[in-house]
Structure 1
Amino acid sequence: MKRSVKDSWYVKYEEAQFPSIQKGWVLPAGRWAEFDPFILMAEDWFKRGTFSDHPHRGFQTITYVIDGRLEHIDNGGRRDILEPGDLQYMNAGWGARHAEEGVDDDIAHTLQLWLNLPKHLKNSDTFYQNVYSEDAPQFKVEGGSVKVFAGEIRPAKGPLNSLVPITLSEITLEDGAEYTHHLPENHNSFIYILSGDVEIGENKLNLKKHGVATLTYHEHGSKETTSEVPIKSKHRRSKLLVYSGAPIKEEIVPYGPFVMNSMDEIREAFQDFQNGKFGPPAK
């Protein structure tokens, strides 16, 4: 099966109130049923103080650092600094409380993806995993390279340990390079263009920097069977991220910092936070 581009758009950005600087929605909120298992993805430019201590419950995040430095702080005592090309996976599970800050006077430029958890995992243990750029396996293709952060993209397997089946790859191609990316045929998938100019899919849709594409997939297909995503670069320095995941197919209620299956569960999450069940502040 060769995939085509199903839908595409360019991210629109808005200036924000300092210490936040600018924000855009790569995956806009409210379209989670279409993006399943993904809920939304934000692209942010911000300085220290924008994302100080806050809670989460019921989903996972994958944060990719495009530029600047990002400091992760949580109320379990962990503190780490991520640099461009690094990413962090967080399973909020039953209840995370953390902060994501620019370092010193840096402007942090990040992509944060919200990834759903199935109902039976929404009360799972909270944990974090950093994947530094140099620790993600990389393989060469004609005219470029593929770095694998999550899932198996032969011949590489990414180190990220998600609780649900996903893949995440960073693809770099020079002008004229053609590459066919392989994904499980039952995975919903989207692509974000970090730089350059590419043609994607069997229908050869053209996208440039800040472009987003969702792809066709075989909803009732097998996780063991792969599908093909043709990609051709039309720029000397094209870089794109490819995300894919198996749909969870459950109704959800995203509300504030929580993603649950009902409003009663959302109210319970707010009550638990107000009653101190998420623990002390992250600082």
Structure 2
Amino acid sequence: MTFQRELKEKWRVEYTEMKFPAIQKGWVLPVERWRELDPFILMAEDWFKKGTFPDHPHRGFQTVTYVVDGRLEHIDNAGGREILEPGDVQYMNAGWAARHAEDGVENDIAHTLQLWLNLPKDKKNSDTVYQNVYQEDVPVVSFEGGRLKVFSGHTAGVAGPLDSIVPITLTEWTMGEGSSYTIHLPENHNAFIYMLAGEAEIGTEKQAMRKHEAGLLTFRETGEGESTLAIRSKKRRTKVLVYSGQPIGEEIVPHGPFVMNTMEEINQAFEDFRNGKFGPPAV
């Protein structure tokens, strides 16, 4: 029988006021739980204005940034410069040496969700890659009372355009009251849910989740088949993000802007940055 996903655990995200030009931050996925979240390291929800995240380096992991509201300007030292709007997603493989800036545009307050996604040891020195995924290019699957957008992975008969080194599934569910839908995910993918709006019942056990709550789903790490995830909306305007990815199973050291496998590798990353090996500033 197909494995049916249920809500294993949920928690409410707490927010902290920040020093201007940052405004507010919440840890959707706290970094100290990376072992049980594998391959996910952390996810931060931020509200900020221009000047919060200027030029900075990264090494050893990937980011998936979802723009909730406002506009986000991305600048990298390879010549990339783009403005992302609500509903857009940016993927970055930091690989061996990324250097970029992420900021609000003009007087906008940017509201983003940034996920840090681990890289296996043999890919931490891979090439740096950026990919912008604009909402109008994302396949949409309509169902009674709602729609599903597939940013990454294969589900609901479509494939998302986001092409990550570590394959993941990222879907956005927009649902009216009483609407329901079921998707298929690889059963060996670790997965979590974040409620952007409204209220929903998760799985066949119909466990309730509300806005600003995150939750881990059950999965079978050694499974080789498909699993199902059912969600039913309890409010007029419910919006849900579901992320899934196969665990890597390696020890890591998340430290500052770098994620490596040992502290020695972290120290080497800082030394390489000081010695200019990450290239010129992103301006």
| TM-score using structure 2 length | 0.98
Name the CA distance, whole Å, in 2 between partners of 1:165 and 1:64.
17
Offset of residue 142 of structure 1: 1.9
Bigger mean CA offset, 82-91 vs 180-189: 180-189
Deviation at 1:165, TM superposition (A): 1.6
Alignment of 1:68-147 (within 5 A): 68-147=70-149
Secondary structure at the aligned position of 1:62 is classed as strand
Q: Which residue of 2 aligns with 1:281?
A: 281
Q: Per-residue CA shift, 1:171-211, capped at 9, x if unaligned?
A: 11110011112111000000001111101123211111111
Aligned-partner SS, 1:84: coil
Secondary structure, in 3 states, of the residue corresponding to 1:33?
Answer: helix
Match of 2:263 in 1: 263
Alpha-carbon separation, structure 2, partners of 1:202 and 1:56:
40
The alignment's C-alpha RMSD in Å is 0.6
Residue equivalent to 1:175 = 177
- Partner residue in 2 for 1:209: 211
1:29 is the counterpart of 2:3: no
Instruction: Quote the Cα distance in structure 2 between the aligned partners of 1:157 and 1:88.
Output: 17
> Residue 188 of structure 2: SS of its match in structure 1?
coil
Match of 1:61?
63
CA distance in 1, matches of 2:178, 2:120: 41
Equivalent in the alignment of 1:155:
157
Counterpart AA for 2:113: L
Give, in whole Å, the separation in 2 of the partners of 1:192 and 1:105.
Answer: 27
The residue type equivalent to 1:209 in the other structure is K
SS at match of 2:31: coil
What's the offset of the Cα at 1:154? 2.5
Name the amino acid aligned to 2:73: E
Give the conservation status (yes or no) of the 8 Å contact 2:59–2:259: yes
**Structure 1 unpaired stretches of 5+:** none
- Aligned residues of 2:141 and 2:156 also touching (Cα < 8 A): no
SS at match of 2:266: helix
Looking at structure 1, the residues matched to 105 and 221 of structure 2 have their Cα atoms a distance apart, in angstroms, of 42
Deviating 4+ runs (over 2 angstroms) = none
Aligned amino acid, residue 129 of structure 2:
F
Q: Deviations over 1:235-281 (max 9, x none)?
A: 01111000000000000000000000000100000000000000111
Q: Distance in 1 between matches of 2:205 and 2:265?
A: 42
Matched, 1:189 2:191: yes
Give, in angstroms, the shift of residue 226 of structure 1: 1.3
**Distance apart, 1:123 and its partner CA:** 0.1
Moved more, 57-66 or 194-203: 194-203
* Counterpart in the other structure of 1:8: 10
Q: Which residue of structure 2 aligns with residue 41 of structure 1?
A: 43
Aligned residues of 2:156 and 2:183 also touching (Cα < 8 A)? no
Residues 123-149 of structure 1, C-alpha deviation per residue, up to 9 Å, x if partnerless? 000010000001010011122110000
Q: How many residues align?
A: 281
The 8 Å contact of residues 76 and 100 in structure 2, kept in 1 or not, is answered as yes
Separation (CA, whole Å) in 1 of partners of 2:234 and 2:93:
37
For 1:178 and 1:75, the matched residues in 2 are separated by 44
**TM-score (norm: length of structure 1):** 0.98
Consecutive unaligned residues of structure 2, counting only runs of 5 or more, are: none
Q: Secondary structure at the match of 1:31?
A: helix
